[in-house]
């Protein structure tokens, strides 16, 4: 199992060890001690599962008062998964990283609290599972526009399928009062 730290401190790509033979495969998708040694020591309290069709873009989302860290993986299909640092005062504020997560590569992306998260579906459909470090609270959630020019994410889709909420999301700089302060969410 490999843990690759990305250009954004705290965002970690997990490359699990996959044991395969002519019967199929086996892998650990989470192991408390191994993940802690790899830099992911948070406790997970909720698991989520979504299914989306090609071109769907979910995000960019976060919670304000009760931020969630997320450990994301694609169990079917292929997604481009993105984390953006939105911690006011962070040296990497507004910067993003993106990783391809597929059912074939088994990779996971850990997005810590204090980051917004989103993904787009590149395959015909995709099923995504993710573990969360805090419970979901709809009233605490905020969204940032997927195409915010101040962030400049290089999404591999031009005209994504969006929810009504994501279609009307604001730019990051218009949401400053909702953003966590660097050092408080760690």
Which residues, other chains included, contact 23 with Cβ-Cβ below 8 Å and sequence gap of 6+? none
Q: Is 37 helix (H, G, I), strand (E, B) or coil?
A: helix
Is 130 marked active-site? yes
Is 136 marked active-site? no
Instruction: Identify the active-site residue in 35, 61, 107, 117.
Output: 61
Contact (CB, 8 A) for 118 and 148: no
User: Using DSSP, how many helices (H) and how many strands (E) does the chain show?
Assistant: 2, 13
| Distance in angstroms (rounded) separating the CA atoms of residues 34 and 46 | 19
Instruction: Identify the active-site residue in 31, 117, 130, 136.
Output: 130
Active-site residue set: 61, 130
């Amino acid at each position: 199992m490999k843990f690759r730290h990305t250009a954004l401190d705290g965002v970690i790509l997990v490359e699990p060890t996959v044991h395969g033979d002519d019967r199929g495969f086996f892998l650990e998708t989470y192991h408390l001690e191994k993940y802690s040694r790899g830099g992911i020591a948070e406790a997970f309290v909720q698991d989520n599962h979504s299914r989306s069709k090609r071109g769907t873009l979910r995000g960019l989302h976060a919670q304000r008062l009760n931020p969630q860290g997320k450990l994301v993986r694609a169990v079917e299909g292929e997604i481009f998964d993105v984390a953006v640092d939105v911690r006011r005062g962070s040296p990497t504020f507004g910067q993003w990283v993106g990783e391809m997560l597929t059912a074939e590569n088994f990779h996971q992306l850990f997005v810590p609290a204090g980051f917004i998260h989103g993904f787009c579906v590149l395959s015909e459909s995709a099923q995504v599972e993710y573990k969360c470090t805090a419970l979901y609270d709809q009233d605490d959630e905020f969204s940032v526009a997927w195409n915010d020019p101040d962030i400049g994410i290089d999404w591999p889709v031009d005209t994504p399928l969006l929810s009504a909420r994501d279609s009307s999301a604001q730019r990051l700089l218009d949401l400053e009062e909702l953003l966590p302060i660097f050092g408080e969410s760690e």
